[in-house]
Structure 1
Amino acid sequence: MTTAVQTPVDRRQQSLNLVLATVAFTISFWAWNLIGPLGVRYATDMDLSATAKSVLVAIPILVGSLGRILTGALTDRFGGRIMFPVLLLASVPFVLLVALGGHLDNYTILLVAGFFLGIAGTSFAVGIPFVQAWYDKSRRGFATGIFGAGMGGTALSAFFTPRFVEWFGYVATHIIIAVALTVVAAICWMFLRDSPRWSSNHDAVVPKLVGAAKLPITWQMGFLYAAAFGGFVAFSTYLPTYLKDVYDFDLQAAGTRTAGFAIAAVIARPVGGVLSDRFGARLITAISCGGAAVTAVWMITQPPLEFPAGLDFVLTAVFMGLGSGSVFSWVAKEAPQERAGSVTGIVGAAGGLGGFFPPLVMGATYDSADHSYTIGLTLLVITAVLATLFTLFGIKHREPGKLTR
């Protein structure tokens, strides 16, 4: 990608493309999170252990994370107008395969389908450089924050997927999502347009990724995004299981509260971007990580229902949402525009991987006798504290527009 700042941009097209990209991101994240809200159902129907259940819930995150590295680089070459429809349509067969695996109570099919369902999660690496190219640097925190609110697809999935299963049936629910992916792909193909400031980068993919990987900002932001967004992904996928184990909620009640968690993070993400535009991404990121550490300590005490526990989870979501917005505001301002997709892909992959391992750790360290996740939450506290210190002291201040290579 390259950006010609002097190229005029139609404001209506700018807004339309931001909205369409956000819608595409939202429905793809719904598909990406199809398994998590039904994890309790799968565990019951197939008599899964805590570890097997956590692997099933976490497996879509793996491809959705690592796949962002490639899709980010491909977006530099082909643009969001092509990449969005391709990824949406590529997710459809695996949504249907999840339906088959669940219908047959076949754990192996579900694992394979869930692995490839991660394709839907790679859309993030398409949207960030796509919307960046439409906006000036001074408004990229706002733009990436609004687009990032599409992670609300996890909230929609948490709330509606269990209800769709009750209203329409298990297989029909997955068919509905598959149709929605197809419709949005068609809309994107017809109406989505790359920014006039964007031009295709035809550099070879591997050297381009190597070049992005050599930038200090890539790995610095990767670590912080793993802490902020990774924490959100981990909670939004594993929270239904956590609420069932600790507070004995049923599937729908756990889904409703998980949706509330995700909505709080979704609202906070664009706020984090806007605040970063005004006060600087470093400050907002430090507040995010430090706040998450405090709320995780509170969570270890297993606050009682409903208000204390609910407030704890909502504040955790808000801090993680703020951090998700502020980190990519940081990336949008400091990553070289010609490598925006590659840097976004690597940072996005780090964020996704940050959400892959915690559910596995939570499942492996769960104390069924005390209904406790103390060890996993303690590790979260340690990670959040380290991220706070790294944000404040581990990243050099840079002059605007200057990037250490």
Structure 2
Amino acid sequence: MSISNANGGKLLTVSTQGAVTGVSGDGDISLDTDGSLVLANAISDTGLSHTVSLTAGGSIRGTQAAGLLDVSAHGLQAIAGNGIGQSGDALQVKLESLYANGGTGGIYVNNQGTQTLELTPTYASLFRSMNVVSYPALKATGGAIQVTTAGDLQVNGGVSHTGTGDVTLNAAGDIQQSAAISTNNGAITLNANGDVEQDAAINTTKGNIVIKSGGDVHQAAAIASGAGSVAINAGGDIDQDSTISTKGRGAIALVSGGSIDMGNLAKTTSDSGNISYSAKDRLSIGQIETSSARSGGTVTFIAPQILDAMPGVGNVKGWVVDVKSPSTSSGLIKDLVGDLGGAAQVNQDDRLIGGNLTEDTRRAMDNLVHTALQPRNPMSTLLVAGPLNAGDIQPATGFEEDGNGNLVFEAK
């Protein structure tokens, strides 16, 4: 079936039970099926100013080869009971706006257009006016959510996976996140060749959270993993102005090709996992905590220049605090960990400089040395007595001399 809509600006609605071989028109296009929807040829809004709506009780699949398009329009609203695209065979589109509900099969979309792609909920203008940015733009209960775009990506509606799948958002340009991203058990990955502006929460119950940026990262909203790890890797600067937290042994690692600056509201915590901050330039440290109990977490700082963003406060805690910064003074490190008392062991450039464990060891050694150097009174008397006389070698009470001249003790 091939359908062309010649009535510019008017809605075309097609209900079908099978494959759609091609639909084009300068207006809104709507395709609805109780089964699965297979796009054998492109669905095209020729004016690129309208919306294509695809609804399927089953799945929505494209068939176009790499470099060709399954859907071309200003916006796409896709709802499927069992998946939009599939792993390894994403729906190929050219869009500026996307809303998708992939049901049990997930969402797999590759946007070839270089204009900014907005992830936006349905009735976007209504929700923008109400400022309900948490209303979902992408949601699924199975599979994974994977959206890739050749330009910038704006997350203006929430992204939610309530099953076990992952959420992955890739952009050749920048990522602007203005709405929450959450998963149940899956990982969350934001990958941008440009900058990442994170202005809404990222939360997963059990998965890992990864933010990769070729440029700068501004973390202005909370990042939390209930049982996984968190990693932020930026080619440029990282500005942390909110909280980063993990539970259990979940690790936290920030790596910057520029500077890392923790603001007044920034706080990084893990129950007992390792925490590391590494910057090519400057590292400004705020509140960072992991377990300082035996076998707790290690806190590592690596940077040519380290600054204390909270002077006068012991703002760093951990089982081990390891600082690699030749230009940083031991006095600054003492300020960070509270006179070296906020950790069992504190290292500076692979040299042990303090910590509770070190102080305990020193006290133990002092006691050991003192014990060894203080002679017992009998020994002292023996050393000053000179040659023994006959009275000195008389048997003590309880000893008797046998016939061979040996002293034998017999209890009385």
| TM-score, structure 2 as length reference | 0.18
| TM-score, structure 1 as length reference | 0.18
Quick check: which one's helix share is greater?
A: 1
Q: Which of these two proteins has the greater Rg computed from alpha carbons?
A: 2
Quick check: which one's strand share is greater?
A: 2
Q: Which has the higher contact order (CA 8 A, sep 6+)?
A: 1
